[in-house]
A and B are shown apart, each in its own frame.
Chain A
């Protein structure tokens, strides 16, 4: 499959603190990738760089062979064309929802991308139905529950029908039912052969959403491979702070082993 994103020795700093440090990675068209990493490993920064919301301080990022630079995005034409292809769902839905009603919120993106009005109306209505939030259409987004906000944030991006969907912690802080609804949706997108890149530290959802896993550690790629291969590498997961050693007793016998939690099931 042709390369979609190519990152070469990418570095990025927040006020002198490195978030990405020599990250190199290729992503192919149509791939479903889970980017795993502990808090502060650079997942969110990576997604923002892929969405051209910030630009690397060193190294280069290519999208379909085109180097992504700040100068390029000063041209309205390229910026619109890129935004039509790539979209990001933010980790904090509050940052993403700023319109007076849910309907306006979902319509915001397609309108900014100059889609025809009738098409916007039809598409927004269909997206609200798809995400089962049609009953919220006239509600102000900042008055919704956490799960509803997340679904509206997802709807506001899915309505753009991007070829590449970037998701930052899509299931974080959601109840199990909302979590499984979001996962179902991501899986449906996989079926539509779009590229989905999901940043998460929830190991239990990885097999459901990804065919490849990239593990980040201190702003670099620590490993890349299939979900089974990565999830069975306990040493890697421990080192990357994705699991922790758990000590407990069976009668008089005390032992410790790597341990991870799930909201819907408990894994040992």
Chain B
């Protein structure tokens, strides 16, 4: 990879990460199905569906749940393209790598023979497809919950589930902190780019990446302290108080009922 390519592509990657995060906050403020529900119902309901996906042993049930996820996305004004970009890379690539060996090593009825005599079994293929379908569906539900819920609402919902204050405080800081570090890393690379002449060797690129990571780590320690002190200075004591009160409306009860029914039916049918 060329010098220009390495630095520029990393900088572009940081900018993309920031714009993705900004887009999430915009989606969370849309008037859609999930956004209309109480954040606690959203998190609890989607968690129940994730549980149903992971317990399902039938591909048809998992696929039906995937269709439910897509329907929820459309009704919540989340574009399928956005969802696909966030879900498919993580789920298909990473799970694909894990699932691939199962296709060849699971004993069963052979359906194809690859060069070298390696056999693909029907059972192995089915296991791999089920695993990938489960992960894609579960990650879709998880992504939907994050895209359709403002971060501060997620934290308040976690507080109301009686999670320890320390945990939510840590999550709150990490979120803000990641943005700052991404910004600083981007600036560091830009400054490096402006002072670099000629092509960098692979070894030099690796050294530069290591140095950047080291500097970021040391900066992060000082920064995390400042972020926490700034929150504390304005009265933060571990519990989030936000403008919107969480009050359950009839729609929220109906939503929770629907989520739980769908999850129970899926668990029962997917046994």
Contact = CB atoms under 8 A, between A and B. Distances in A.
27 contacts: A53-B233, A76-B237, A79-B235, A83-B234, A84-B235, A87-B233, A88-B233, A92-B226, A94-B183, A95-B226, A95-B227, A98-B173, A98-B227, A98-B230, A99-B152, A100-B25, A100-B150, A100-B151, A101-B25, A104-B243, A108-B236, A109-B235, A112-B236, A113-B235, A121-B243, A140-B25, A156-B234
B22 A143 contact: yes
Interface residues of A, number: 37
Contacts of B235: 79-80, 83-84, 109, 112-113, 160
Given A53-B233, A88-B233, A99-B152, A114 B25 contact: no
Contacts of A53: 229, 232-233
Given A95-B226, A104-B152, A83 B241 contact: no
A142 interface: yes
Contacts of B232: 53
B234 A87 contact: yes
Task: Indicate the member of A48, A84, A99 with the most B CB atoms within 10 Å.
Answer: A99
Given A107-B243, A120-B243, A112 B234 contact: yes
Contacts of A142: 18, 179-180, 183
B107 to A, nearest CB: 52
A80 B235 CA distance: 6
B243 A157 contact: no
Nearest to B236: A112
A185 interface: no
Contacts of A109: 234-235
B152 to A, nearest CB: 7
A111 interface: yes
Given A100-B152, A104-B152, A111 B241 contact: yes
Interface string A64-102: 000000000000100110011001101010111011110
B81 interface: no
A51 interface: yes
A220 B18 CA distance: 43
Contacts of A51: 233
